[in-house]
Structure 1
Amino acid sequence: MTQPPEQPSRSSDDPLRKQDPQDAPPPGYTAPPEPPAEPEPAASAEPGRDATTPPAPAAPPQPPAQPPAAPQGGFGAPQPPAGPAGRPPAQPGFGAPQHQPQPPAGGFGAAPSGYGTPQPGPYGTPQPGQPGPYAAGPYGRPQPGGPYAPQPGWQQPGAGGHPQGGAHPGAPWPPGAPQPQAGPATGSRNPFKTRPALAITAAAVAAAVVIAGGAWALVGGSDDTDEKAGPQPTQEAPSPEPTTSVDTGDGDGGGGEEVDINGERAPGESRVAWFKTAPDTPKGGSRAPGMWIVGDVAAKAAYKQLFGWKAADGGEAWKPVTFPEEICAVSRNTTEDGKVAVAYKSGSSDRAKCNRVQQVDLRTGEKGWEIEVEEGGLFDGTSDLSLSVAGDTLVVGRSQSGVAYDAGTGKKRYEIEKYGASCFPSGFAGDSERLIVAASCAAASAKEHDEIRELDPRTGKVRWTTSLDKGWEVEKAYSVSPLVVYAINRDKEQGSITVIGAGGRIGAHVQLDGKTEIDVRCSGFSIFNKALESCDFVADEQNMYLPTKNVTGPNEILAVSLDTGKEKWRVKSPADASMQPLAVENGKLIAYVRPTYDKGGQVVAVPTAGAHKPQRLLQNPAAGAQLETSFFTPDVAWSGGRLFLSVDMLTGNDDQEEKLMIAYAR
């Protein structure tokens, strides 16, 4: 990526402050200052497996819990296309077909086992701001002022552009690009020096696997999709609405080759409340981003349409909203009143921009305001956008800048532009009260580094700025409140999960034994900016809940203290399959247990205090295990006692109907 000329360099002789192991900052972080102590939630001593107890010897490899399914569609794990001139190609992600091989031992983030002494991590010390493009000393300091004040600059990371979900595991790559290879084995080298390494992986987001084998009592037909005219003339006839495709069954077992899933349920099994197939899409495939449960409406985007169904029975909540061109981005979160932002392309050619943004009320299906996002400067285009809701503000992220709009009216509020000498935004994340910005500074220079800052969502005023050490990149904001950041160092093949407190204060770093791999699922796709908030992550006031990675068989979920970064307890999946955390409700961790080839999935509740024994809430029918299994790495939601699964990519396979979304209930 072409950047402005290098600016004056910062001093690089700021020594690291020595600390006790329990106080030391995480890898790549310098020692934080001593701000007034913030009351932090006390970590209760909870029963469960002792975090210091050595794990049991590994069992010999077991056969897979389900037979491999042939990959469907054309979305493998390719390499992204090259960026603009002067910009390195995007780093490989981990979009992958089913049953992707496990990386070589000691690959990215791998390390010897055992707990080591904490070492400095990627973030510099947040300190009072100083004028000029760089703070005195090698580490960035928190700096006052608005978004245009002279501050350390932003730009794309030196390692190149990142597809949304890109370098972080979990992103699908465009069709046709080859699978990235795992990094070289590191042997006994511990990337965290005296601190044990954290092996980071995430479930790859692959193309939807179309229904194979027998049929699932497909019934119903295309529904009328007429609606009010969109903001521009529709250039192509809208696709038919997805069909309701599972015979709810009366116990007669269906007929022919059909499988009457509900009719063949065993006592105590949940039922398929409803099922939807996908609209017709081009042969090259298309995106199906986002899934939202708003009140009694379940909404899903696919290709050029946004659908709304009644969460209880799958009946039509409102007529599908059809866009003139393919949907290219959506806001992951909604506003407090249930509105979402949807971006669609300016045309159908390969050179079309992703620059039209439409507000839609998910409660009613009504369209609100619409805007056309202008191009920024050189290499700051709208080929890809990110959409982030922060309070009542919508931030539209371009390649190297962002524009903030009033989420209710669409009126422009402010721009988030280059600041300092050479700093450009690379990603945004928000929630009901906060706006987090990742920035990359001084590209291709000796002082290249990333920064994180918090802005006031309504005004854009900078609340604080924190710098990372050279070589470390902000990859994901796993959570905004609390702020939990995943950073990577590509050269050293290291990963870091770190809690950042009030004022940018660097808090706990996740400390695990070197044998545990974390498997956080991330999705989304973009070439020129990061999907900073594209991961499924669960945390409460005391803990973050991290799923471990298992190629076959059960995995575990770890409860890790937000105060110390240390494991407090862990719970094993109750089935011979992995489980992932979904939410915390009434003092219980809700988790989805994946199906096997002959057993349906489950939803379980794990008490966060006392005995951490999973309690089954739903047991999905075994008769539908093959269908449920074909939702490989799905978007998952739990709401109102119902489980919702959906795909986020469509293959465009004309030979069979593709699945889109399914709901289970008691």
Structure 2
Amino acid sequence: MTQPPNQPPHGGYGSPQDPQQGAPQPPGQPPQMPGQPPQAPPPPAQTPPPPGQAPGTPPDAQPGYGYPQAPGPYNQPQQPGPYNQPGPYGQSQPGPYSQPGPYNQPGPYGQPQQPGPYGQPQYGYPPQQTYPGGPGAPGGAPGGRNPFKGKPGLVIAAAVAGLLLVGGTVWAVVGTGGGDDGKKKPEADKSTDPKPTASAPVNPGDGEGDGTAKPEDLNAGRQAGESKVLWYKEAPKVPGSGADAPGMWITDTVAVKAAYKEISGYTIEGGQPAWPTIKLPQKICAATQGKTSADKIIVAYKSGVSDSAKCNQVVEIDLTTGEKGWTEKLGEGALFDSALTINLSLVGDDTLVIGRSLSGVAYKASTGAEMFKIEKYGNACFPSAFTSGTKLLSVASCGAGTDTEHDEVKELDPATGKTKWTKKIPKGWKLARIYSLEPVVLYLTNEEKKQWNISTLKNGTDQVRSQVDVDEKFAPECGWAILDRALQGCLGVASDINTLYLPTEAKSGANEIVAINLETGKEKWRAKPTGDRTTLPLRVENGQLISYEPATYDQGGTVTSTPTGSGDHTPKKLLQNPAGTVKIERGFFSKAVDYVDGRFYISTTSLTSSSGQSKLMLAFGK
């Protein structure tokens, strides 16, 4: 059966609701597209990686994300792309993507059974294959799931470069997305480590510690040259369905974390409560990735406890004082326009876009006043994915179920909602991630041809400036933000105006970071980590590429800086985390990380039910 004309598409951006959410289908919904397999039931809790293997470190020589692929949509050789050019800007020699990808081979971590969302196994459902050239799964989560499997119209969520610096705001990069789907998700699992002392307190003065173990100093045994644990926090207990812990916001004085129904602020030096914990009536289901110049964020929480509860209660939070600001209830959309999950995008300093499954609404971030709507247009185009940062990009699925089905991306004026330019993505290709906004860098995939493409656009237009032409397997950690239509948030992607930085897949021990010239798409240089381990670029700051080398089984994580200009590209250690806390640091499987003013913060972004306390946040410094 074909889809009724002008009805909302069934997959990806514009999907009435994500099947992973587990909520009932709205009455009268058009039938599912033919050939779509049944959806998987809730996955179990995540199993930590085996000893001796760092999270995010794949075994030797496994095919995976970034594998050299067949030609992309912007005209790689041998098979002309949709734009009918012989190759990348007229090149006559075959490019690195003229080889078929390992579409039917094990995922990047070589697991025979492909896990479901957040790296957890599926029950009663065939194994899902990884997508060639696709961003990797969160660190510590073995394998990956093909987000296109059984979703013909899926335009998956995307990510932008590492930590974006917008309006003076540094954003924490997340390894996975959030979104209350009523299912168990992985977490920074229950710690069996002794509780820390005053030098690394557990929830001092807020009564959250379980009080069952004698406090022990996490800095005991710290070696010369190692950073110290500034403080360590444990998460609130959550129900069996689990809970989200989205976002992590760092100001000059406070580190703020959302978890379950709470928002807590801690002093950056000692981790003492900066203000009374904010208690919300229901689960937090969305939060802005960044904060305004006035150090304010916006979060959303559920309307109730049932599976059909909407994520429609929106509130502003002052990070400095811990006070609530304006509140708003997101209105109902048109038929099938679901608010079971939403996406909150902060654009510039005063535009908040709330994305439903088929539309968006823009508000003044400072007041909560409605500004404009972003709704269905053209040939049944349904916009429902939006960027945060310096530009407002909107991604729509158009003509789903018809011969003209395709995706479109637009740049909108964040003050008026008016279109600046529109780019039609060729049929068969999906806009999967947005790696950068300055300039715009698009990551595209083609399910049928098992191909991928990374293209940079010319500033202010829809014209292609260059395409990545590097024979390499790239492996950023993008988690499962696809389930919440988030376009940004990969851990391991960074960029500046002329260069894109991507991590390679670790084939045997260490990987590398490749700097790619965005003018030509060619490789500029490579940088290795400081040891036999993986490294992930975070952001570019003052001519230095800031990277994070995750903890291994016997060595704490390392924050490094690498010169981005000409000359030597040897990384320099900025912070070496202690070996004594690797068990805690490696336990954040679904994580957000940030390095601000010489301090490194790591926190979980998802919680599951536990009989004891679970890791929430850890801070290191000199």
CA distance in 1, matches of 2:342, 2:392: 17
| Deviation for aligned residue 1:83 | 8.0
CA distance in 1, matches of 2:562, 2:80: 34
CA distance in 2, matches of 1:281, 1:351: 19
Is 1:442–1:449's contact at 8 Å kept on the other side of the alignment?
yes
**Once the two structures are aligned, what percentage of the paired residues are identical?**
41
Which residue of 1 is the match for residue 544 of structure 2? 588
Pick closer, same or farther for the CA change 1:120–1:478 going to 2, 3 Å. farther
Deviations 1:465-509 (A, max 9, x none): 000111111122222222112222122222222212221121222
Runs of 5+ unmatched residues, structure 2 = 8-18, 50-55, 86-114, 142-175, 177-184
| 1:517 partnered with 2:470 | no
Is 2:590–2:605's contact at 8 Å kept on the other side of the alignment?
no
Pick closer, same or farther for the CA change 1:375–1:462 going to 2, 3 Å. same
1:534 pairs, out of 480, 489, 497, with 489
Which residue of 1 is the match for residue 595 of structure 2? 638
Is 1:79–1:178's contact at 8 Å kept on the other side of the alignment?
no
| 1:277 partnered with 2:234 | yes
| Deviation for aligned residue 1:224 | 6.7
Which residue of 1 is the match for residue 564 of structure 2? 608
| Deviation for aligned residue 1:294 | 2.1
After TM superposition, the score normalised by the length of structure 1 is 0.70
CA distance in 1, matches of 2:405, 2:490: 26
CA distance in 2, matches of 1:184, 1:410: 41
2:511 pairs, out of 547, 552, 555, with 555
- Give the length in aligned residue pairs: 513
1:208 pairs, out of 187, 204, 209, with 187
CA distance in 2, matches of 1:612, 1:359: 42
CA distance in 2, matches of 1:595, 1:441: 43
Deviations 1:397-422 (A, max 9, x none): 01100001111110111100000131
Runs of 5+ unmatched residues, structure 1 = 8-77, 126-168, 186-196, 226-239, 246-255
Deviations 1:368-388 (A, max 9, x none): 111111111111021110000
Is 2:387–2:488's contact at 8 Å kept on the other side of the alignment?
yes
> What code does the residue aligned with 2:339 have?
T
> What code does the residue aligned with 1:512 have?
V
Alignment of 1:285-434 (within 5 A): 285-391=242-348, 392-432=350-390, 434=391
Which protein is bigger by CA-based radius of gyration?
A: 1
Deviations 1:243-272 (A, max 9, x none): 899xxxxxxxxxx99763312111111100
Pick closer, same or farther for the CA change 1:121–1:546 going to 2, 3 Å. farther
CA distance in 1, matches of 2:291, 2:78: 38
CA distance in 2, matches of 1:108, 1:221: 38
| Deviation for aligned residue 1:522 | 2.2
CA distance in 2, matches of 1:470, 1:606: 40
| Deviation for aligned residue 1:103 | 12
| 1:183 partnered with 2:129 | yes
| Deviation for aligned residue 1:309 | 1.0
Is 2:383–2:394's contact at 8 Å kept on the other side of the alignment?
yes
| Deviation for aligned residue 1:586 | 2.1
Is 2:430–2:446's contact at 8 Å kept on the other side of the alignment?
yes
| 1:449 partnered with 2:406 | yes
| 1:499 partnered with 2:456 | yes
Alignment of 1:60-99 (within 5 A): 81=22, 84=25, 85=29, 86-88=31-33, 98-99=48-49
Alignment of 1:92-241 (within 5 A): 98-99=48-49, 110-111=67-68, 117=77, 172=118, 181-183=127-129, 198=133, 200-203=135-138, 204=141, 205=176, 207-217=186-196, 241=208
CA distance in 2, matches of 1:500, 1:170: 33
Pick closer, same or farther for the CA change 1:483–1:362 going to 2, 3 Å. same
> What code does the residue aligned with 1:210 have?
D
Pick closer, same or farther for the CA change 1:380–1:403 going to 2, 3 Å. same
3-state SS of the aligned residue for 2:580? helix
Of 210-219 and 299-308, deviating more is 210-219
> What code does the residue aligned with 2:503 have?
P
> What code does the residue aligned with 1:335 have?
T
Is 2:191–2:613's contact at 8 Å kept on the other side of the alignment?
no
